[in-house]
Amino acid sequence: MDLLIMKTWSRLVSLIPGFRWLSLTEIVEEFGKLMTQQIDLRFEARNLETFQEKFEKMDFIKFPTPLRPFVTRNIMVETFEDGEPLSLYLQEAGSSEIKHRIAAMGMDMLLKMVFVDNFVHADLHPGNILVQGVLEFSPAHSDLTTLVDMCDTLIVNVRPSRCPLRLVLLDAGIVAELQENDLENFRSVFTAVVLGQGEKVAELILHHARANQCVDVQSFKSQMAELVNEARTNTVSLGKLQVATLLSRVFHLLMTHKVKLESNFASIVFAILVLEGLGRSLDPEIDILEAAKPLLVKSAASLI
């Protein structure tokens, strides 16, 4: 019923001039497919196992383990993971050092999911992220390797120590993946944004658009270049650049010039927006574009 209501409203909104270029109907269709998969817990179990494999060498990111054979369509038994909800640290809890480290770990995790693995947890709200190991973390022992060594010497009377400082991701029923061509396009667009190549961003979007009725291509390219350049040069620190704000302005520009993006970008973009928002709440100076630059430049070089 929820999906039916969403589909109906998306079709009605798409009748408003300009709004059909937001691909709302297609986005709801994609969301419906994801939700249909989520009610089959076998999909979530497979997703958790895939994430564990991909993050095996990153000890600051953890996922619960499905306990087979206790996994069916309607029931999944998994390991219990103790920890504090991330939402606690979005308020007053924790030192600035802890918050900065949590934000950095989350950003590294997101970049790996998006640009390395092409397998993105698409439901990364604060309730689905736990923080472990805070009791053992201190600025004097902020190195993760040092924290691992400390685990052997700590004595905890009430419950086991939770080392090292790490994030535990729950509820992996919804994941986002892009087809190879779409992934290369996404990387190319993001790379052009990182490098401040505004006109190239416009060219890539037009080339890969689902549909467009752009009458003044040169104007679209010029406005996109102005938007990207302004976003990157109009602040003292790149850390003050908010990708969420930048993307919202990009979408407004697409509506104005009647350019329609592929709908399967939506889940990836939303995951970036949500996690970037969480990261900035913990560390206002965090910069996803600067952090992504080495991955994107390396990826671009491999294609030449």
Q: Which of 265, 198, 200 is nearest to 232 (CA)?
A: 198
Contact 52, 63 (CB under 8 A): yes
Give the pLDDT band of residue 65 (cuts 50, 70, 90).
very high
Q: Which of 23, 213, 36, 2 is nearest to 10 (CA)?
A: 23
CA distance 145 to 157: 24
Q: Which of 117, 123, 182, 283 is catalytic?
A: 123
Please state, in angstroms and as integers, the Cα–Cα distance from residue 129 to each residue in 16, 53, 102, 161, 182, following that order. Answer: 38, 19, 11, 19, 28
CA distance 171 to 64: 9
Comparing 131 with 24, the larger pLDDT belongs to 131
CA distance 116 to 151: 30
**pLDDT at residue number 243:** 60
Exposed/middle/buried for 208, CB within 10 Å: 0-12, 13-18, 19+? middle
> What's the helix, strand, coil split of the chain in %, to 5?
60, 10, 30
Q: What percent of the chain has pLDDT over 70?
A: 76
Asked if residue 237 has pLDDT above 60, the reply is no
Please state, in angstroms and as integers, the Cα–Cα distance from residue 27 to each residue in 91, 118, 237, 304, following that order. Answer: 32, 19, 34, 33
Average pLDDT value for residue range 219-225:
87
216 a catalytic residue: no
Average pLDDT value for residue range 110-127:
89
Q: The pTM is what?
A: 0.71
- What's the pLDDT tens digit per position in 2-22? 888 888 888 888 777 767 666
